A and B are shown apart, each in its own frame.
Chain A
Amino acid sequence: MKVSAPVAFAVVLALCPVASARAEDTPASLYEQAKKEGRLSIWSSLDVDIHQAQLKAFSKTFPGLTVEAFKIQPGPAIERAIAESRAGRLTVDIMDTNSGYLQTVFDRDLARPYPWRQVFGIDKSQTLYDDRALMIAQYDLPIAYNTDQVKPNEIKSWEDLAEPRWKGKFLLEARGFGLAILAQQWGVDKTVSYIKRLLANQPIIAKGASPTMDGLASGQASAAIGALGAKIDGLRKQGAPVEWARVGPVPAQLVTIFPVNGAPHPAAAKLWAWWWTTPEAQTIFYDEQGYGMMLGANANPRGRELAQRGIPVVIETTAVEEGRRNLEAVAQAIDGLK
């Protein structure tokens, strides 16, 4: 899976004649512009540390750029970007977000199509929404369990947690990201019916991935729906009694990146966006934080294990409106009024 950055850049440069025939930009010309721009402002939902790790590797191939990564939730980030854009004072160059927020971005022309494939040779499967955004990760949300309280293979299906023996013994994350993705396969009605059966089992409902995983690791509950596979792996490596169940289908959230239209440093933003799709960047992402792709040639070890076991992975739909409706139906089913 590891491909060094110079090799990746050489491959990209080799594509330049083809690319330049189709688009004005080339990686080399973008880099020249980026050097003149000198810096890059990132608004990210990811841990800032990962951007520092990526910058270290990125700078070996593209030295001379200063990167300022700022952690901010996608919602407030997009609100701020809209306000800044309308005031003509954009300060952000590039943003990453889960796909649900993209329609808001597209509606305001804050992301425009770009010939990623022609300029960088990025695989078609990673360019989304008419080439306006790039996919950089698929966050898996498997069922997780506490190994002090649950035996391996004890949980055999999603239905198990609706059985009376799990009454009051599992955590359910309130926003229901994973269940909303499963609704793509199960249908909304079946998913809502499943949630009602879960609720009849009196789960402990937690808001946010952190309290969910902390509650699971502490033994507050025996199992959890809504924990991130990457975080479960991370906690287990630190000695926490947690594991993820090899139970399908495993839902996975789409995480995307896009250069902001009208940004002060557009060339640097495009180079950075491309960087995240490279195998080297994906390896760093997995090594540092356990995230990455679940499917495809760049699949991370969890994704590869699921493929070997024949356990299906359901990736969040790129039909934004459908995804939003599913999320709203699931969140409302979990907690009435929302």
Chain B
Amino acid sequence: MSEQAIVSPGFHHADDVSGDNSRLPLLLFFVVVGVVVWIAAAPFIMLLYSSLSAEADKLPFESAHLSLDNYIALLTDSRNLALLGTTAAFTTGSTVIGVGLAIFFAWLIERTDIFARRFLFVALLTPMAIPSMIYAMAWIQLFGPNNGLVNATLANLGLGVLQVNVFSLGSMIVIQGIALASHAYLLIAIAFRNFDSSFEEQAFMCGRGKLATVLRITMPMLKPALLAAGLFFAVVAMETFDIPITLGLTSHVQVVSTQIYWSTHPESGRLPDYGAASALGVVLVIIAYALISLYTRATRDARRFVSITARGFRPRPIPLGGWRWPLFVLALLFVFVAVALPLFILIWRSLLRFYQYPSMAALNALNLNAYRGMFNDPDIPKVLANTFTLSVGSAAAVTVLATAIAWQVVRGNAPDSWRRGLNRLAFFPQSIPSVVVGLALIFIYLWLPIPVYGTLWIMALAMVTRFLAYSTGAIIAAQMQISTELEEAARISGAGRAFTYLRVVLPLVSPAMFAAFLWVLIHVVRELGLSLMLYTLQSQVLSTKIWLLWENGRVADACATGVLTVVGLLILLSLPALFKALRGIVRAAFSLA
């Protein structure tokens, strides 16, 4: 067998498994490509077109003249070099911290016998439900220079030397990294969960220590998931603006995302500078393309990452021994700083009309007015219903599409280059600024005779576009962990293609699908940029409601609604356990009967 045959094609063809050369799989490939093109093409074309539109104070579709002026301006403005340098430092730093923390916690919770794993799992995911502008503000109220809770407490204790300057590039990197950790955890945890512990056990038997086993066995085998997380969250860090804009203004730290924000949110009354923002967006797409090419190259030989084989596997926890307590304390410390303190600020702020440093006077001023107001708000039932429909519907659509893409990319029988093309296509929308995606959808659906403009449907389409990349990355990584042996065994036993997929592959991919579903659902609930562009009176959702309250200076009400979001998330995270308990009760009842 030639080297080419071993290394490439990177992913296993369905034909490898079935020997089936019918045209149906290829047809399915084109159906999937068609759907992805439908979703990704409009924003992408709008991005390219608007990057070439040359007329100031005009929307992209109003401009009659095209030129390279935006690119020339981007490349010749000396300030952009500094901007890219700062962005690279911010992105690299926060991604390393975020993904590093996520790997550490995923290993700790999924692969070891650490205490209170369920608690740590829920605690780690909680910051995702805190509205981003409130999360960013919470860090100022914790570490602000004059009266930040932590800084002021340190000063009162005579430990002023330990005070943190929250308005600095270093703080921005650390805080963004902490925020990313929560988001990256879900993607990485599922890969750890699917990891066959027999590999580690063999390493232990050969005399390898725990650290060496993690570094030499566990991590290399999880490379697709870890690289996917690193790649995805590097792009996320590049385009996130809440933390950079909240913390970077005072220290005059600008990154690409804040520059895109200012370009697309001019306060002078001019229309957004879509040209400049889109040219920057194209740069992000190119960077993303380069990153995903590296990812594809690094994960080319999928067989190296298989951990679920026909032999069966048991993800047995690694005993931590003497490290159990120190690591548990370390985890609690992180949860305290990254989760409990911002959550405390959110709850504390929701109980006060205006923020007060914790004191007896502040305790006396605590009230439930914001919660009363929220439950008496006639909009809330509609807002909750819309949020539920949009988040569940979008998450389900994204998960189904991402699963189909993952199957085509990893197992499809289309040519390699086509499948890699599909992988890249699914990733592109992530790099396109939200405002460009929003404008593209408005433009398309105002002109097409498809009645989705002004409804939840257009918002759902936007969400699918926005969150497809993450889910695809997560499910591809999970798909790559599954050996083709299982499918071969099923096919040899006479199972058809559909039966094999539904009864063998899907159950094994389902944990990743559930994680992707959960992740998308949470992010749809908190997504603001696109929702603000597309929502109407009839399609208000929680994030726009919180924004309205925030903009009107009703910060306590906004925080109370934020608390409601966190409670909703906690209920959601408890659902699997509830279902499990319910299933146990039902089984017990039947066995008694």
Contact = CB atoms under 8 A, between A and B. Distances in A.
Nearest to A108: B62
A219 B357 contact: yes
A205 B251 CA distance: 8
Nearest to A46: B552
A75 B271 contact: yes
A337 B267 contact: no
Interface in A71-90: 71-76, 78-80, 82-84, 86-87, 89
Interface in B528-581: 532-533, 536-537, 548, 550-553, 555
Interface residues of B, number: 54
Interface residues of A, number: 68
A47 B146 contact: no
Given A204-B167, A207-B249, A234-B553, A327 B145 contact: no
Given A99-B269, A324-B268, A328-B268, A168 B249 contact: no
A103 B266 CA distance: 14
A271 to B, nearest CB: 20
Contact of B145 (A71, A83, A168, A210): A168
B83 A68 contact: no
A86 B444 CA distance: 12
**B267, B353, B552: which has the most chain A beta carbons within 10 Å?**
B267
Given A83-B442, A83-B443, A168 B146 contact: yes
B446 interface: yes
Contact of A218 (B259, B271, B355, B537): B355
Interface string B117-145: 00000000000000000000100110011
Given A204-B145, A336-B252, A240 B537 contact: no
Nearest to B453: A89
Interface in B464-517: none
Given A75-B265, A221-B146, A214 B355 contact: yes
Contacts of A89: 446, 453
Contacts of A278: none
A337 B254 contact: yes
B140 A82 contact: no
Nearest to B536: A70
A221 B145 CA distance: 9
B61 interface: yes
Nearest to A104: B271
**Chain B CB within 10 Å — which of A91, A220, A238 has the most?**
A220
Given A68-B537, A205-B250, A338-B262, A100 B354 contact: no
A177 interface: yes
Interface string A297-338: 000000000000000000000001001100110010001111
Contacts of A86: 61-62, 446
A207 to B, nearest CB: 6
A16 interface: no
Interface in A173-216: 174-175, 177, 202-211, 213-215
A302 B512 CA distance: 59
Contacts of B537: 68-70
B493 to A, nearest CB: 56
A337 B79 contact: yes
A99 B271 CA distance: 13
Nearest to A337: B254
Interface in A223-248: 231, 234-235, 238-240
A101 interface: yes
Interface of A: 47-48, 68-76, 78-80, 82-84, 86-87, 89, 91, 98-104, 107, 168-169, 174-175, 177, 202-211, 213-215, 217-221, 231, 234-235, 238-240, 320, 323-324, 327-328, 331, 335-338
Given A73-B532, A75-B266, A79-B59, 11 more contacts: A72-B532, A86-B62, A104-B270, A168-B146, A204-B145, A210-B551, A219-B357, A235-B353, A323-B268, A324-B268, A337-B262
